[in-house]
Amino acid sequence: MDTNSLRQDVARLFTLLHERRVEYVLVGGIAMLQYVEGRNTEDIDLIMALADIHKVPEITLTSRQRDFARGKFGEVQIDFLLTRNPLFAKVRQHYVTLRPFAEQNIPCATVEGLLLLKLYALPSLYRQGNFARVGLYENDIATLMHDYQPELDALFDALAQHLSASDLSTLRDIVAEIQQRIGRFQHGFGKGR
């Protein structure tokens, strides 16, 4: 894949979305790069309504499920989180900030929005037995928690409307484990024991 061509396709995609007044929010790995260093990604993840995707016929949809779709725009693979999912719609409405990207200001999920999406995905990833993605998501969560100290109770309140009580309880346990890791990091490994 030609990196220069890819960059041009990404810039052209964002220009088209803006020109056609498409509501979207950048999420996923590229959004993570707006907040933390060293995150790799091979695609663009956007929260959008299915009707808005159709406003850009230059995007070829390659698959579609209830809450997700995948498409291509030139060299760019796009994963869509569809707003028919109430949590995705909530993030698009309430957890957005403008960030510079590809010489434009792009609507990007806030730290809290990214955390909501990653926490929401974890139960499904565990059920799928996808250890590599679980590790990646938990690392993203840990990095955002360490660097930004978000208000976690508010995030759990928001997730309570979208997850079962048992999933929410397990997520609280995972976040507590991450907080312990952050504590070890902040206090120095093995010091004071």
**Residue spans per domain, the chain:** 3-109, 113-187
Q: What pLDDT does 115 receive?
A: 98
Q: What pLDDT does 39 receive?
A: 66
The reported pTM is 0.91
The three-state (H, E, C) secondary structure of 8-55, written as one string: HHHHHHHHHHHHCCCCCEEEHHHHHHCCCCCCCCCCEEEEECHHHHCC
Q: What pLDDT does 102 receive?
A: 77
Q: What pLDDT does 192 receive?
A: 53
Domain 3-109 is in which class? alpha beta
Q: What pLDDT does 189 receive?
A: 66
Which parts of the chain register pLDDT below 70? 1-4, 39-40, 189-193
Tokens of residue 92, six digits: 């698009």
